[in-house]
Copies of this chain bind each other. A is one copy, B any other.
Amino acid sequence: MSSTHTYSKKSQSLTKNQRIVLDLLQNSGEPLKAYFILDSLKKEGLNSPLQVYRALDKLVELGKIHKIESINSFIICNNSNCASNTAFTICERCGKVKEIKNKYLTDGVSDLVKDNQLEITRYNLEFYVLCKSCKIN
């Protein structure tokens, strides 16, 4: 028999602010900066940096987005279940960022580090590259 409740738990769903920030990042697909997000969502009712940062913090915690530390930007997560371990390439010339999905890579890194007798709780890998189109032109 199913629950008599017809509504889902609050903890399963995002709040309005979290939702609109996530949607923006989702639609963009690119890394966005906090204050850009703020400007973009002024019309949705976001008025202060803190509202943005709180939403971003929560979304990072949930693994729905990632922070790219070296450019102070946030990007939608392309994978599933990578709340703690992330890897990106960033083109040095055009700035394009991609999340590295290759399981071989991330597993391999984990193994290498484990061999080094470290207890890893999470990691963030940022590879600066020359992307294909920038390599050509």
Contacts of A105 in B (CB 8 A): 112-113, 115-116
Contact B127 A126 (CB under 8 A): no
Contact A125 B123 (CB under 8 A): yes
| Copies of chain A in the complex | 2
Q: Given A112-B108, A127-B113, does the pair A135, B121 have CB atoms closer than 8 Å? A: no
Q: Does A60 contact B (CB under 8 A)?
A: no
Q: Does A1 contact B (CB under 8 A)?
A: no
Main secondary structure of the interface of A (DSSP, over half): mixed
Q: A108-137: which residues lie under 8 A (CB-CB) from chain B? A: 108-109, 112-113, 115-116, 118-130, 135
Knowing that A69-B70, A124-B126, A125-B126 are A-B contacts, what are 9 other residue pairs whose CB atoms are under 8 Å apart, sorted by A's residue number? A69-B69, A102-B116, A105-B113, A109-B109, A118-B129, A120-B129, A123-B126, A123-B128, A124-B128
Chain A to chain B contacts (Cβ below 8 Å), 26 pairs? A69-B69, A69-B70, A100-B113, A100-B116, A102-B116, A104-B112, A104-B115, A105-B112, A105-B113, A105-B116, A108-B109, A109-B109, A109-B125, A118-B127, A119-B129, A119-B130, A119-B135, A120-B128, A120-B129, A121-B129, A121-B130, A123-B125, A123-B126, A124-B126, A124-B128, A125-B125
The 5 closest A-B pairs by CB, nearest first: A69-B69, A69-B70, A123-B127, A108-B112, A122-B128
